Structure formats: structure tokens, C-alpha cells
Amino acid sequence: MTNKISRRDTLKYGLGATLGATTALYAPAVLSSDAPVIRYLGTAVNMGDDIEKKLFEDTGIKVQYISVTTDEVTKRVLTQPNSFDIVDSEYFSLPKLVPSGNILGMDTSRIKEWDNVTSIFTKGVTPGGKKVGLQGTAPSKVMYLTGATSGKFADEATQYATLIPTVYNADTLGIRPDLIDGPVTSWADLMRPEFKGKAATLNIPSIGIMDAAMVVEAMGEYTYPDKGNMTKAEIDLTMKIFTEAKKAGHFRAFWSDFNESVNLMASGEVVIQSMWSPAITAVKAQGKPCVYQPLKEGYRAWAAGFALPKTTRGKQADVVYEFINWYLSGWVGAYLNRQGYYSAVLGTAKEYMSENEWGFWMEGKPATEDILSPSGAKLGSVGEVRDGGSYEDRMGGVACWNATMDENKYMVRKWNEMVAA
């Protein structure tokens, strides 16, 4: 890297000396044709203009976003692995992606901050030592490969990781406290009779069934050995309870798009529903109170990370690794933390956040100043505490992870049957 810069500098100044003013005209053209471009496949979650700009400022790398839905990311990796240079995928897609051989194991020796990646990914415990629930496709279960191109998960830590983690969070139910009487403390509250016609859940079968399982377990109907990998009988049982509720008109709607969930909640059509963290922020931004309610049974968590398709090699792979190292070096981490997500390397992100921000988002402390989103919108006032509290409390309270089940096909069918019922 230093070599490259000095060579470029020599070229610039050398030419400048001989050709005078003309170089000033040519130099930008030379630089921009030089600028490495990486095609970045992922969901819109992590694709901000701010990140793109900052990346170019810091490294001279340009990024081309290919923004699609979660399911579409998986489909692209499997069907068109040469259409991108790096993919940002969720861990629960790995049981599909890895056996296909279309993604490479990530060489952890090339990741500067690898040793500082939060232990939730590498060991399945929080930095504070709390054990994280491992039901479902927990990242720590699918973190390593036996070799760069082996296509097999390793039980032990190896040099090759499936994904280099980027962002993750713990999901729970969102509520409208102004339209609800009394406290909501359990996943079972989603089915409370008073919420008839005012509850919602999502119409994405693989995630919806996990939320359904949290509800069924909280109702005391059944205790799953592994909510993330149900047997056919367990799927039947779960769907039966939800189908009956659906037929009785308990749900106002199902949603399949982030914006739908925001509209349902902001309009008051729904007062309690499965929700994602940025949707809560979006409802609040419309001036409606909305709480990401911590529940006693814990959270359903998800996590995403970077991988390279098998077609990204040589110099292009170097650029992508440089991008990943930059990504973990703190600025992006702070950016993600400020949106209510969590960054994979906590230490570097901390350096880019104020004491007030770190205290609010990560330590569960009351805000000492207004809390602002990366775009400058006010998310919290002085004295306010984050829903669910600290990182340790939230991530330590994870009960299960988004998953791909062995009985996936059966589950999708049963889900469709519920919709048709």
C-alpha cells in the first residue's frame, strides 16, 4: 500500500514538474480509472451512502451496491456467483450456501481485527461471559469451515471462517404503549384476547415460524428441544395454534416488507407485532410512541457477515479484504451501533462514539445528551434509556437465532396452508 502511494505521488509530482499545469487536469482521470470497484451484494440494511463516501475517502475503493431482499441474496449466490465480488449474507442462509461451494472460506489471518471479533460469534458467549441461546442457526455453530474450499462446517476453530461478521441484533415484539393497557412482558402476550384484530406477525415463513415458536413456548403449550430445527410434528403443532388464531381473526395482517410493518404500527391498525429494530425507529420518527419491548423469554437474534464468491480471486480479493478490514476498523461499527444494531468488533467502534452514545446504545445508561441517528434525527432525549438496556442484557438474553430447518420444505408448505386457511 505504501509503495503504491509513493509511486503514485512520484508520478504526480514528477509529471507535474515536467508538464506543469496540464497534470492537474489529467491526474483525477488517472486516479479514478485506477480506483478499484467492488460489487457488493446484500440487503439494503447496511448499504448507506455515508458508508460509500467514507470508504472512498479513507481507502479510494469504490463500492457498487446490489441491493436485494434476504431471500434474493441467497438465490443470487447460488445461481449467479460471478455477478458480485462480495456478499453480505445472513448466517441462517449458510446451510444452503456452504454445500453449494459457491462461497469461499474467509481467511481469518488476513483480518486484522479477527481476534477482537465479539465472542458471541466465535464462542457463543457475550464478552461479559453470559451464555447466548444457541437454538436455530447460531453463528457460533456455523462459524468455521474445515478448509477454504471444503464446503463443510468445522466443529473447532480453524483458519477459515464462513462469514466475517458485520452486523447483528436481537429482535423482539414492538408495541404501541399509548394504545395498550397494562404491561407486555411475554411473547405469549401477542395472543392476548384483547389484541384480537390488532396483532400482526410477519409473512416470511423461516422467521415467522421462529416467532410463532417463541409464542407457543411462552404460552406453555410446548417446550421445543430446538426451535430452529423442528420436527414435522412440532411444525404441525406450532402452525395449528397460529392457524386457529388466524381463522379467529386475531391478526390484523401479516407483513412481508419492512415498510408494511412501519405503516401498520404508525397508523394504529396494529398495536403489537413482530418487528425489526429500524422499523421501531421509523415509527418513532413519525412522532408515534413505539417500544421494542424486552420479553422474559428472551430475543430472537440474527446476524450477517461478509463472504467472497469463489470467482473473486487475486487482486480483486485483496481489494475486498482491504474493504472488510476497513469495515471492521471502527467508523462503520459506530455508524451501525447508532442505528440500534451491533457491530462485530466492539472496541474499534467505541473509539468513534461519544461517551454519551456508547453509554446509551451499549451500556444501557440514561442519555446525558440527545441521542441522534447517523442522519441527525433525534432518537432519544436526555434521561432516556434504550429499550432492553445494555448489550450484555440484550445479547445475553438471546433465546434463538434465525434458522434454516431440515424440514424447510414441509415448514413452507404448512405456512402456506395457514395463509390459505
Partner 1 sequence: MTKLSRYFEPKFSWLALPFAAVFFIFFVIPLFLTIIVSFWDYNDYSIIPDLIFENYIYIFEGCFQFDADLCMTFKTYLSTLYFCLLTWVLTLLIGFSVAYFLAFYVKTIPVQIALFLICTIPFWTSNVIRMVSWIPLLGRHGLVNDTLIFLGIIDTPVEWFLYSEFSVILALVHLYTLFMIVPIFNSMMRIDKSIIEGAYDAGASEIQILTNIIIPLCKPGIVIGSIFVVTVVMGDFVTIGIMGGQQLASIGKIINTEMNYLQLPGAAANAVILLFITIIIIITMTKFIDIRKEL
CA-wise closest residue to 406 among 101, 133, 98, 137: 137
- Helix H or strand E encompassing 300: strand 299-309
Query: Contact with partner 1 (CB under 8 A): which of 246, 288, 310, 350?
Result: 246
Distance of closest approach, residue 75 Cβ to partner 1, in angstroms: 6
The single residue among 51, 132, 190, 253 that binds partner 1, judged by CB under 8 A, is 253
Give min distance, CB of 73 to partner 1, in A.
11
Report CA-CA distances (Å) from 31 to 26, 39, 149, 382.
9, 19, 35, 46
Buried b (16+ CB within 10 A) or exposed e, 376-412: eeebbeeeeebbbebbbbbbbbbbbbbbbbebbeebe
**C-alpha to C-alpha distances, 417 to 46, 209, 410, 421, nearest whole angstrom:** 34, 13, 11, 6
Q: Can residue 254 be called a binding residue for partner 1 (CB under 8 A)?
A: yes
Place of cell 428441544: 225
Size of the chain in residues: 421
Nearest distance in Å: CB 106, partner 1: 19
**Cell numbers standing for residue 31:** 486516479
**Residue 142 Cβ, how far from partner 1 at the closest point, in Å?**
14
259 versus 375: smaller Cβ distance to partner 1 = 259
Which range binds partner 1 by CB under 8 A, 229-237, 253-261, 312-320, 322-330?
253-261
Interface residue with partner 1, options 255, 302, 306, 358 (CB under 8 A): 255
DSSP-H helix ranges across 60-118: 70-79, 94-100
The smaller minimum CB distance to partner 1, of residues 312 and 404, is found at: 404
Residue 234 Cβ vs partner 1, minimum distance, rounded to whole Å: 19
Alpha helices in 69-125 (DSSP H): 70-79, 94-100, 119-122
Does residue 413 interact with partner 1 by CB under 8 A?
yes
The whole-angstrom separation of Cα 48 and Cα 375 is 10
32 binds partner 1 (CB under 8 A): no
Contact status: 407 vs partner 1 (CB under 8 A)? no
269 scored as a contact of partner 1 (CB under 8 A): yes
Q: How far is the CB of 28 from partner 1 (least distance, A)?
A: 38
Rounded to the nearest 10 degrees, the angle between the axes of helix 232-247 and helix 205-218 is: 80
Separation of alpha carbons 205 and 230, rounded Å: 13
Residue 240 in the binding site for partner 1 (CB under 8 A): no
Q: Is 381 in the site for partner 1 (CB under 8 A)?
A: no
- Contact pattern from residue 194 through residue 233 relative to partner 1, giving x for each residue in contact according to CB under 8 A and a dash for the rest: ---x--x--x-xx---------------------------
Interface pick for partner 1 out of 22, 259, 286, 381 (rule CB under 8 A)? 259
Which of the ranges 159-167, 277-285, 359-367, 406-414 carries the binding residues for partner 1, by CB under 8 A?
Answer: 406-414
Number of residues that bind partner 1 (CB under 8 A): 40
343-368 in b/e burial notation, b at 16+ Cβ within 10 A?
bbbbebbbebbeebbbbbbbebbebe
Applying CB under 8 A, the residues found at the interface with partner 1 are 69, 71-72, 74-75, 78, 95-97, 99-100, 197, 200, 203, 205-206, 246, 251-256, 259-260, 263, 267-269, 404, 408-409, 412-413, 415-417, 419-421
